[in-house]
Chain A
């Protein structure tokens, strides 16, 4: 919630700052300069690249600020780390009271720190304690355990830093909170601050260093490139086979009543079934090997490509076909020179959708069962709470998916430049 509000504030401030800067740059504000901008004209809206850059910087700034990263100078308060102490008041069975100090040492998880040192104080029945707590963690402690007569049922801690405490109550000390349980133990919670624990969200540089690590050493017996390469290879194999079968099938459905009638129920039934729903069946039939995954992706791509090719054929203007006939073309020539090229824009649109769906499906399939692949990498890492690998995997999956779409768009521009200009 705080993060979201902060994001909105950054959004607003960046916008105001940009407008202010732009206004100071253009001094001319006459009618002519205003009427070029028609609010509501969608075609006149293009992404403001300055905003895109600020948006990415803002994301990383928030990420860094909430993880205590080195990439941002400003951080939200982190968890309390270091030494602190509080005084507790105990009452023994005889009704006498005495004070002792609990020395706390809060350390970053993973570091090796000794217990704080405690000096002996002879002549008192409440004895000082030493407690070690990991940052973001809490500790359940019986401070009276080492006190003289402390194991007597009537012995009790009655106050913390002079504030009375009873079972179920919570009091604050200088750097945290203490809750007394019903059994009289103290649950000591040092302040967590606002930063995220690394096992929830690691800092950006931790993710980056993990990238370097698994790029050179690999993860779970396979190099990073093998993991990503296998995922990508499955997608391409499934997509290619799906296209090789789907496109001719779509053409046949677009050109023949019999094919349309025969395959219409199958295609219309399979199209709304999400490929993810097929994963269990595919595993039962083909196991968790490569074969099953390629078949799953083939099925994911097949219906999309079939429908795209069918739409491409149905989309041909009858006047183009008539024109070709009256120029003396044969049926086969019309298919080859008119129907196929005319359907290419539709097929490319379908291919972009299919590649996107396949990429999503392969990651999901690998989440379920795989010995290598991007999805396997993140699901395996999550079992060991290696959140940095999980986040790294998500980022890589996103980058690759985006890259695929950009490549498809470039291919489209190059191969079907007439798209949308018929």
Chain B
């Protein structure tokens, strides 16, 4: 138990002009509790669609997702989501953003407060609880987003390019934080990214998807996430195997892009 099962998912979008796009075709996957899965692929490979179906924002055309044996039919607090940016509530301060989930569930403030304090410390924002969201930098905002998600104590955390909008330095720090949180909380995490390096660093399992129709192209099990916990991620990047994997996956994605371009040129 404690598993997230994705069972032969297919998703077809009908376009207004009558044609349709096969965003996902027969995607199957099982995740054990505490696994960190990174999903990588060229744009249009359906990785965000996959995440939205797991989150419950989209209903698949075929197949189903079950979490702990229960079928996913809509969004729910057991599947927390971290977005790229702009999903925080600017009209609340940091503390109220983090306690949003418990507040909505009607839990008393006395119970929530120590949890929020704890999370603020975990993400390194202990002095920023009373600040408004727009007073924080982009990196700090993403820390709040992570803390807000954790405050709800979900079984699975879904991350949709959570570090995509950050600058390189902040991004590296945040990657360390994600690993730390993963290890400390033991949550199951699905992380979508378009950075090969990030996928290699963070993904205990790595899924490379291919477009048109969106499908699983290849799956890896990688040692780098375990290596990186509590360590300088730059040391991990220097591992010879890391460089090798990076080249391999980059080449794979490069070929897919070439193929798409080629196909477009043929039809044009």
Interface positions, chain B 7-56, Cβ under 8 Å from A, are 55-56
Q: Does A35 contact B (CB under 8 A)?
A: no
A328 touches B134 (CB 8 A): no
Query: What's the least CB distance linking B30 to chain A, in Å?
Result: 21
- Contacts across chains A and B counted by CB atoms under 8 Å: 77
Query: What's the least CB distance linking A402 to chain B, in Å?
Result: 29
Chain A residue with the shortest CB-CB distance to B90: A418
Complex interface bits, A53-88 against B, C-beta within 8 A gives 1, otherwise 0 = 000000000000000000000000000000000000
B86 touches A320 (CB 8 A): yes
B83 touches A324 (CB 8 A): no
Q: Does A266 contact B (CB under 8 A)?
A: no
Q: Does A37 contact B (CB under 8 A)?
A: no
Q: Which residues of B contact A416 (CB under 8 A)?
A: 91
Candidates B79, B91, B145; contact of A418 at CB < 8 Å:
B91
B81 touches A323 (CB 8 A): yes
Chain B residue with the shortest CB-CB distance to A422: B90
What range describes how many residues of B lie at the interface? Answer: 20 to 34
Q: Which residues of B contact A324 (CB under 8 A)?
A: 100, 104
A320 touches B87 (CB 8 A): yes
Distance of A319 Cα from B154 Cα, bound (Å): 18
Distance of A421 Cα from B89 Cα, bound (Å): 11
Distance of A337 Cα from B88 Cα, bound (Å): 12
Q: Does B80 contact A (CB under 8 A)?
A: yes
Distance of A328 Cα from B75 Cα, bound (Å): 8
Distance of A126 Cα from B86 Cα, bound (Å): 97
Q: Which residues of A contact B74 (CB under 8 A)?
A: 325
Q: Name the prevailing secondary structure of the A interface residues.
A: helix
A341-B89 contact given A323-B81, A326-B55, CB 8 Å threshold: yes
Q: Does B148 contact A (CB under 8 A)?
A: yes
Interface positions, chain B 63-112, Cβ under 8 Å from A, are 74-77, 79-81, 83-84, 86-91, 100-101, 104-105
Distance of A333 Cα from B75 Cα, bound (Å): 14
Distance of A7 Cα from B145 Cα, bound (Å): 57
Chain A residue with the shortest CB-CB distance to B96: A337
Chain A residue with the shortest CB-CB distance to B133: A418
Q: Does B188 contact A (CB under 8 A)?
A: no
Distance of A236 Cα from B89 Cα, bound (Å): 31
A327 touches B91 (CB 8 A): no
B83 touches A418 (CB 8 A): no
Candidates A319, A328, A418; contact of B77 at CB < 8 Å:
A328
Q: Does B152 contact A (CB under 8 A)?
A: yes
Q: Does B57 contact A (CB under 8 A)?
A: yes
Q: Does B233 contact A (CB under 8 A)?
A: no
B104 touches A330 (CB 8 A): yes
Distance of A327 Cα from B87 Cα, bound (Å): 12
Interface residue total, chain A, C-beta cutoff 8 A:
23
Complex interface bits, B151-164 against A, C-beta within 8 A gives 1, otherwise 0 = 01010001000000
B152 touches A418 (CB 8 A): no
Q: Does A417 contact B (CB under 8 A)?
A: yes
Query: What's the least CB distance linking A136 to chain B, in Å?
Result: 62
B55 touches A317 (CB 8 A): no
Q: Which residues of B contact A320 (CB under 8 A)?
A: 86-89
Chain A residue with the shortest CB-CB distance to B101: A327
Complex interface bits, A318-347 against B, C-beta within 8 A gives 1, otherwise 0 = 011011111111100100011001101000
B104 touches A338 (CB 8 A): no
A328 touches B90 (CB 8 A): no
Distance of A320 Cα from B83 Cα, bound (Å): 9
A329-B104 contact given A418-B90, A421-B134, CB 8 Å threshold: yes
A328 touches B81 (CB 8 A): no
Interface positions, chain A 278-320, Cβ under 8 Å from B, are 317, 319-320
Q: Which residues of A contact B88 (CB under 8 A)?
A: 320, 323
B104 touches A325 (CB 8 A): no
Q: Which residues of A contact B56 (CB under 8 A)?
A: 325-326
Candidates B55, B101, B105, B149; contact of A322 at CB < 8 Å:
B55
Q: Which residues of A contact B256 (CB under 8 A)?
A: none
Distance of A317 Cα from B75 Cα, bound (Å): 17
A422-B86 contact given A322-B55, A328-B101, A342-B91, CB 8 Å threshold: yes
Q: Which residues of B contact A338 (CB under 8 A)?
A: 89
B80 touches A326 (CB 8 A): yes
A322 touches B87 (CB 8 A): yes
Complex interface bits, A387-422 against B, C-beta within 8 A gives 1, otherwise 0 = 000000000000000000000000000001110011
A417 touches B132 (CB 8 A): yes
B87 touches A325 (CB 8 A): no
Distance of A389 Cα from B77 Cα, bound (Å): 67
Query: What's the least CB distance linking A419 to chain B, in Å?
Result: 9
Q: Which residues of A contact B145 (CB under 8 A)?
A: 323
Interface positions, chain B 105-140, Cβ under 8 Å from A, are 105, 132-134
Q: Which residues of B contact A328 (CB under 8 A)?
A: 76-77, 101, 104-105, 152
B100 touches A327 (CB 8 A): yes
Distance of A324 Cα from B100 Cα, bound (Å): 8
Distance of A341 Cα from B86 Cα, bound (Å): 15
Distance of A341 Cα from B96 Cα, bound (Å): 14
Distance of A10 Cα from B25 Cα, bound (Å): 75
Distance of A333 Cα from B154 Cα, bound (Å): 19
Chain A residue with the shortest CB-CB distance to B57: A322
Chain A residue with the shortest CB-CB distance to B158: A326
Q: Which residues of A contact B84 (CB under 8 A)?
A: 319
Q: Which residues of A contact B57 (CB under 8 A)?
A: 322, 325
Q: Which residues of A contact B55 (CB under 8 A)?
A: 322, 326
Distance of A322 Cα from B54 Cα, bound (Å): 13
7 contacts between A and B (CB under 8 A): A322-B83, A328-B76, A328-B104, A333-B104, A344-B91, A418-B90, A421-B134
Given A323-B83, A327-B149, 9 extra CB contacts under 8 A: A320-B87, A323-B148, A325-B75, A327-B80, A327-B148, A328-B76, A328-B101, A328-B105, A344-B91
Q: Which 10 A-B pairs have the closest CB atoms?
A: A328-B77, A418-B90, A421-B134, A325-B75, A327-B101, A341-B91, A319-B87, A326-B81, A323-B87, A319-B83
